[in-house]
Amino acid sequence: MSDSSADTSYVPTTVDESHAHYRPKDGHGSGNITKLALGAVGVVFGDIGTSPLYAFRETFVGPHPLAIDELHVLGVVSLIFWSMTLVVSIQYVTILMRADNKGQGGSLALVALISGAIRKSGYGSLVVLLGVFATSLFYGDSMITPAVSVLSAVEGLTVVQADLAPFVLPIALVLLVALFVVQKSGTAKIGAFFAPVMVVYFTTLAVLGIYHLVQMPEVLVALNPWYAIQFFLTDKMLGFLALGSVVLAVTGAEALYSDMSHFGRGPMRLSWFGFVMPCLLINYFGQAAMILGLDDAQAAVAMENPFFNLAPESLRLPLVILATAATFIASQAVISGAFSITHQAMQLGFIPRLSTRHTSEHEAGQIYIPFINWALMTGVIVLVLVFENSSNLASAYGIAVTGAMLIDTCLMGVLVIVLWRWKLWLAIPVLVLFFVVDGAYFAANAAKVPDGGWFPLLIGGVAFTLLTTWNKGRHLMRQRMTEAALPLNVFAKSAHGSAARVPGTAIFMASTNMGVPSALLHNIKHNKVLHERVVVLTVEVQDAPYVERDERFTVVDLGQGFYRMTLRYGFMEETDIPAALAHAPMCGAPFEMMKTSFFLSRQTLVASERPGMAIWREKLFAWMMRNAASAMEFFRLPTNRVVELGSQLEI
């Protein structure tokens, strides 16, 4: 593994250097805000948009069932309305979407944004760990979302015809496997169909809801928060536990923030407030109106699948097909999100480099990571086979989502006080409100850990261990290599007269700007030659998603044909070194790839008793290094111009 492999990772962009400076459009002041808003409906809102398939049902038939009566129906739909208003509309869409890191959103982007301001304080490392844990929980969410969404849609077949129940599981498994198999083709081609399908889907939600609301408009009294309060006052413990299912209505809120870079906050806010939120709320209130319009026996039957019972019997099969298509799109968005967040984590140094493929020549965000894809597919298949139905899966769903929301609230607290410098009289009440709301959701879901909530926590714990081990191991490896580092300027003077110079350029990759890379030392020790031009190249990934062209390079001429170059990337950019060198400042002459050799240091790690990490973590780090993707692919180096020189290193 190369010295520099610990610093950078593979990213989605094309070879064209202009893509390295891509900025997401915000849609302001241009005529395309409506087009962007429409695109956001197709890509961003699938997760939260498929929640009506199971969220309302789970509050009544989940692990802690409620009586199907007016008090509880109005109380639950009131809770859904106010949860959507407080958590999605205010916390995420209104407040957190203002916290963009050069257009990027999500936990890691937020951590990168605020870490600079608190790095010197004692809380800097804690904030980073919180962001990493939120990222870890996302992987559990990425497995559960496709499983519960597709299963809940296919289960609609039992509403069409009860005899189809034995076929639900096989059909769902086939669809899910197909979903992951097609990932290698990318979403560029099928993405054009996302928006129209989701617009039809959300419109259908509203039409079905309106049909039942017209028959019982009095259900709209639940807009009054008193009905939610009355529910809690009457059934204190059941009301608290019901939050564990109510929160399913706002799953996907974090994804709205993470996907902000694709469309900009303006178009996404327009989509949410102008179309998606009204359609969702109309459907939830429509489900409540339908249930209250039935007698007790009919309501009990309809509550087994209230979403599909909204439609007349003749339209239920088309509704199942439409809902299945919507869950496919929702799952696609989550899987793509897993690829994107993995890429960010690689660039920020928390994940070893993984083989990454571009699936579009034009879209910077279209990538495919085979390891993540197949790992997610394995997890999804295990989930479906173990939990068997969407109701059981819903018990496992909420803990990852609410955990990430609570962490985002913690990060938001640092953001508004340290970065935005809100007045305390404003910041404290706002933060207390969201800590109470998100904390209550998390506590209610904690009660579901024995019923399946352990799964995302297990996945999150494993991911957190891997991410922190890699980050700590990289730090220790750099530290050990720096201990015996020889200053490059001293080496350049002494080596000039002690080795033969040969034509061409040699680029030696280095993990830091300090010392001589081991590949250079081994080359002169064993080969006793130096190229006419020797460039020691360090790749640095910044806390910002993109780096401007004039900040890309720093070059120091050390004399005697030696240069030290620093090449900077943002954490959303591709580390394409040959493409960057084509635009590099002259180090004596332009770089010609056919006359340039790249030297990489491959370190073989040896676990030791030296202070740093536990032995088992050192062995885990060494295993991760051995299984990391090729440095040549990582840096996009021409394979016939690379020389690797190995050595052992104790950590």
Q: Is 468 in contact with 352 (CB distance < 8 Å)?
A: no
Percent of the chain with pLDDT over 70: 88
d(CA 16, CA 98): 30
Only one residue has tokens 């830091």, namely 512
Given this model, what pLDDT does residue 89 score? 95
Domain ranges of the chain: 44-471, 486-650
Mean pLDDT of the region 97-114: 78
**Beta partners for residue 509, in sequence order:** 537
Q: How many CB atoms lie within 10 A of CB 496?
A: 15
Only one residue has tokens 């087009």, namely 35
Asked if residue 244 has pLDDT above 80, the reply is: yes
Question: HSE of 533 in the Cβ direction (CA atoms, 13 Å)?
Answer: 20
Mean pLDDT of the region 567-583: 85
Only one residue has tokens 């530290």, namely 479
Given this model, what pLDDT does residue 343 score? 83
- Identify the CATH number of the domain defined by range 44-471: 1.20.1740.10
Mean pLDDT of the region 598-619: 76
Outline where 484-608 has alpha helix (H): 488-496, 518-526, 577-581
- Residue 60's pLDDT band, with cuts at 50, 70 and 90, is very high
d(CA 584, CA 563): 12
- Residue 141's pLDDT band, with cuts at 50, 70 and 90, is confident
- Residue 319's pLDDT band, with cuts at 50, 70 and 90, is very high
d(CA 198, CA 327): 10
**Beta partners for residue 357, in sequence order:** 368
Pick the more confident residue, 357 or 179.
179
Burial class (CB in 10 A: 0-12, 13-18, 19+), 513: middle
Structure token pair of residue 340:
């994107």
Given this model, what pLDDT does residue 25 score? 41
Helix axes 454-483, 390-414, angle to 10 degrees: 40
Lowest mean pLDDT among 211-220, 277-286, 521-530: 521-530
Percent of the chain with pLDDT over 90: 33
Given this model, what pLDDT does residue 337 score? 80
Given this model, what pLDDT does residue 188 score? 53
Asked if residue 12 has pLDDT above 60, the reply is: no
Structure token pair of residue 632:
């040549």
Mean pLDDT of the region 76-90: 95
Strand, coil or helix: what is 578? helix
Q: How many CB atoms lie within 10 A of CB 551?
A: 12
Given this model, what pLDDT does residue 626 score? 82
Q: Which residues of 137-146 are buried (b: 16+ CB within 10 A; e: fewer)?
A: bbbbbbbbbb
Asked if residue 88 has pLDDT above 50, the reply is: yes
Asked if residue 291 has pLDDT above 90, the reply is: yes
With a CB cutoff of 8 Å and minimum separation 6, the contacts of 175 are 150, 154, 324, 328
- Residue 302's pLDDT band, with cuts at 50, 70 and 90, is very high
Per-position DSSP letters for 427-481, written without gaps between them: HHHHHHHHHHHHHHHHHHHHTTGGGTTHHHHHHHHHHHHHHHHHHHHHHHHHHHH
Mean pLDDT of the region 269-286: 95
Residue 83 parent element (H or E): helix 70-83
Given this model, what pLDDT does residue 479 score? 77
Asked if residue 105 has pLDDT above 80, the reply is: no
d(CA 153, CA 418): 44
Mean pLDDT of the region 130-149: 88
- For 22-44, write each residue's pLDDT tens digit: 334 444 444 478 888 888 888 78
Given this model, what pLDDT does residue 616 score? 87
Instruction: Name which of 497, 491, 514 is nearest 562 in CA terms.
Output: 491
Considering 26-40, 236-250, 504-518, the range whose residues carry the highest mean pLDDT is 236-250
Q: Is 62 in contact with 392 (CB distance < 8 Å)?
A: no
Mean pLDDT over each residue of the chain, to the nearest integer:
83
Only one residue has tokens 């039992």, namely 158
- Residue 199's pLDDT band, with cuts at 50, 70 and 90, is very high
With a CB cutoff of 8 Å and minimum separation 6, the contacts of 375 are none
Lowest mean pLDDT among 144-148, 264-268, 290-294, 543-547: 543-547
- Say how far residue 181 (Cα) sits from the centre of its chain: 20
- For 413-458, write each residue's pLDDT tens digit: 988 988 889 999 999 999 999 999 999 999 998 888 888 888 888 9
Mean pLDDT of the region 223-232: 93
Per-position DSSP letters for 268-298, written without gaps between them: HHHHIIIIIHHHHHHHHHHHHHHHHTS-HHH
Task: Enter the DSSP assignment of 104.
Answer: B
Lowest mean pLDDT among 495-499, 523-527, 557-561: 495-499
- For 336-352, write each residue's pLDDT tens digit: 888 888 888 888 888 98
Given this model, what pLDDT does residue 380 score? 93
Mean pLDDT of the region 189-215: 88
d(CA 645, CA 633): 17
Instruction: Name which of 301, 40, 323, 343 is nearest 195 in CA terms.
Output: 40
Asked if residue 523 has pLDDT above 50, the reply is: yes
- Residue 69's pLDDT band, with cuts at 50, 70 and 90, is very high
Given this model, what pLDDT does residue 500 score? 83
